[in-house]
């Protein structure tokens, strides 16, 4: 079972061959996949195990959509083909890639498509910056190349050797049992949390941990995507979506947004799901000076030097509620929507800076107006704060009922 070493051999052939050699030297098999997109390189093997043409053949519209002569469209085409190529292989023990910004964009989609737990390591010139677009909801490890990946030298040899031994160590270790076979005594439960909803989630996990393997996801945009990736992968058996704050960032331009497909995994899998309104009173930005000019006069709260929170308004809450209700309306599985009428976060309580009953009422009314009740789906309003122990108990009770656990 080999490690796949991937990159563009027309520009990084020596470095890729060196990584393959070091992986093999560590006692693990390796194959080299050439992702070059230049037309003249497409049929050259260059000592590789899979030449560019072999990978490009996996493009759904044919290899001609890879070797276009235009760098941007060629990279996009090869990225699509490589993702399909990797998913067609049944012997991927691990995947390591080398690249600059283009190579990183080319290789990481295939990494994201692999299941969680398969070792993935991207050695990249952009790994010391914002890697969220490359990593997404997956478990990709990023390593900064320090020097450009443009030849073997006293620095690059060390970095690439370390990377080769890292992926060999990950892949060569005694494999754990498949995720589906672990914790067989308990099904897995996905729960979303934010700092301002921690008391609720802490109490919730205490109530349910005896019967459920509680997986808590930080609602930072990527956190919600990670949970939904695991739902789509069949690795989560139920969801309590306490903290739906990513929707506020998505609609208002915050820095921790969900994607358009939020709640989509629950729709597709029809899992038992309880949803609430955690932290919908806020939109997240970076340091105070990064808040967009259009929001500078709003109610802002400095959470810490790097995080500024903006209170959502009555109008924004109506929009948020309508969006969530429209998405939930497409969920055909067992569903509850629980509304905490006395506040949705630690900052939304009497005496706290985001306490605004009118804004909350707008959110709740929009949710109720757009929610479609049915025999397996109900909306429940409760005269409680989200962080009250009684609300956590209610979330647990409704979920247990939906999941059929006695």
pLDDT value at position 11? 86
pLDDT score recorded for residue 22 = 95
Q: Which of 172, 194, 218 is the last residue of a domain?
A: 172
**Domains of the chain: total:** 2
Same domain, residue pair 261 and 361: yes
Q: What is the pLDDT of residue 184?
A: 55
pTM: 0.77
Residues 240 and 349 in one domain: yes
The total of other beta-carbon atoms located within 10 Å of residue 302's CB is 11
35/85 same-domain check: yes
Same domain as 277, residue 229:
yes
The residue length of the chain stands at 406
Question: Are residues 158 and 200 located together in one domain of the fold?
Answer: no
pLDDT of residue 406: 39
The verdict on 129 and 206 lying in the same domain is: no
Burial of 48: CB neighbours in 10 Å, binned 0-12, 13-18, 19+: buried
CATH number of the domain encompassing residue 253: 3.40.50.12030
Residue 202 belongs to domain spanning: 179-403
Q: Domain boundary residue among 172, 203, 219?
A: 172
Residues 116 and 243 in one domain: no
Q: Among residues 118, 140, 172, which one ends one of the domains?
A: 172
Distance CA 82, CA 8 (A): 12
Cβ contact 22:48 at 8 Å: no
Can you give the pLDDT at residue 263?
Answer: 97
CA dist 185 to 178, 189, 210, 227, Å? Answer: 15, 13, 10, 21
Below-70 pLDDT ranges, the chain:
39, 41-46, 173-184, 405-406
- 321 lies in the same domain as 226: yes
Classify burial at 211, counting beta carbons within 10 Å of its beta carbon; exposed 0-12, middle 13-18, buried 19 or more: middle
- Same domain, yes or no, for 299 and 377? yes
Residue 83, phi then psi, degrees to nearest 5: -60, -45
Same domain for 74 and 32: yes
Q: Same domain, yes or no, for 89 and 236?
A: no
Whether residue 275 is found in the same domain as residue 332: yes
- Report the CATH number that the domain containing residue 166 is assigned in CATH: 3.40.50.12020
Mean confidence (pLDDT) of the chain:
92
């Amino acid at each position: 079972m080999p490690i796949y070493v991937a990159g563009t051999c027309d520009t990084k052939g020596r470095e890729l061959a060196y990584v393959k050699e070091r992986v093999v030297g560590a006692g693990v098999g390796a194959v080299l996949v050439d992702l070059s997109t230049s037309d003249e390189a497409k049929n050259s093997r260059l000592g590789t195990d899979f030449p560019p043409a072999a990978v490009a053949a996996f493009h759904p519209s044919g290899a001609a959509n890879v070797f276009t002569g235009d760098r941007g469209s060629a990279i996009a085409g090869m990225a699509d083909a490589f993702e399909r190529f990797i998913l067609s292989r049944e012997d991927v023990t691990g995947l390591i890639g080398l690249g600059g910004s283009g190579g990183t964009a080319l290789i990481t989609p295939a990494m994201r498509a692999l299941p969680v737990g398969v070792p993935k390591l991207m050695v990249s010139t952009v790994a010391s910056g914002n890697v969220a677009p490359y990593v997404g909801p997956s478990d990709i490890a990023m390593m900064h190349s320090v020097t450009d990946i443009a030849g073997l030298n006293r620095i690059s040899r060390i970095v690439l050797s370390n990377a080769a031994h890292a992926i060999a160590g990950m892949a060569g270790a005694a494999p754990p049992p498949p995720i589906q076979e672990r914790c067989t005594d308990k099904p897995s439960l996905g729960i979303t949390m934010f700092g301002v909803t921690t008391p609720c989630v802490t109490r919730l996990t205490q109530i349910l941990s005896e019967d459920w393997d509680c997986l808590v996801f930080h609602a930072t945009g990527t956190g919600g995507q990670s949970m939904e990736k695991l739902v789509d992968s069949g690795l989560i058996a139920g969801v309590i979506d306490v903290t739906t704050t990513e929707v506020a960032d998505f609609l208002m331009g915050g820095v921790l947004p969900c994607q358009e497909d939020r709640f989509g995994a629950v729709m597709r899998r029809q899992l038992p799901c309880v949803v609430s309104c955690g932290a919908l009173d806020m939109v997240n930005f970076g340091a105070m000076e990064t808040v967009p000019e259009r929001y500078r006069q709003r109610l802002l709260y400095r959470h810490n030097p790097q995080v500024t929170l903006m209170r959502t308004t009555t109008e924004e809450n109506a929009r948020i509620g309508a969006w969530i209700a429209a998405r939930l309306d497409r969920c055909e599985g067992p569903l509850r929507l629980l509304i905490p009428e006395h506040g949705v976060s630690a900052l939304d309580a009497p005496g706290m800076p985001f306490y605004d009953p009118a804004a909350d009422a707008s959110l709740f009314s929009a949710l109720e107006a757009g929610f479609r009740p049915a025999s397996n789906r109900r909306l429940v309003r409760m005269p409680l704060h989200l962080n009250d122990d009684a609300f956590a108990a209610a979330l647990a009770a409704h979920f247990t009922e939906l999941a059929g656990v006695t």
